[in-house]
């Protein structure tokens, strides 16, 4: 699967390597092209996953604010709910399409 912004592939990995959480595909850290991500200061803590790290995504027209996120150190109790350790996996929102 691929995470695509316009015609640029930001992340790519086989579907079996991704994790689906609450309707979002999370890509393994090594599959994400980090040169397209810029850490954001936007704070958020999920009640069951823990502290979130947002990223803005670089595009031809500038930065798309908070269009990607990750959980660097999720609550260990969330691993049972998700089924595996998803630390630093990256998910994408709006503008970034996840396709086969």
Tens of pLDDT, residue by residue over 72-90, are 999 999 999 999 999 999 9
Q: What are the tens digits of pLDDT across the range 6-31?
A: 999 999 999 999 999 999 999 999 99
As a whole number, mean pLDDT of residues 39-64 equals 96
Q: Is 84 helix (H, G, I), strand (E, B) or coil?
A: coil
Residue 36 CB neighbours (<10 A): 20
Mean pLDDT of 45-72: 96
**CB count, 10 Å around CB of 27?**
25
Contact call for residues 27 and 3 (beta carbons, < 8 A): yes
Q: Which domains does the chain have, with CATH numbers?
A: 2-99 (2.170.150.40)
């Amino acid at each position: 699967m691929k995470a695509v912004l316009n015609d640029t592939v930001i992340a790519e990995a086989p579907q079996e390597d991704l994790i689906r959480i609450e309707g979002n595909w999370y890509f393994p850290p090594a599959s994400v092209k980090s040169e397209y991500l810029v850490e954001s200061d936007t704070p958020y803590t999920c009640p069951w996953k823990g502290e979130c790290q947002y990223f803005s995504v670089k595009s031809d027209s500038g930065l798309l604010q908070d269009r990607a996120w990750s959980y660097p150190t999720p609550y260990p109790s969330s691993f049972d709910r998700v089924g595996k350790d998803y630390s630093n996996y990256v998910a994408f929102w709006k503008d970034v399409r996840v396709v086969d």
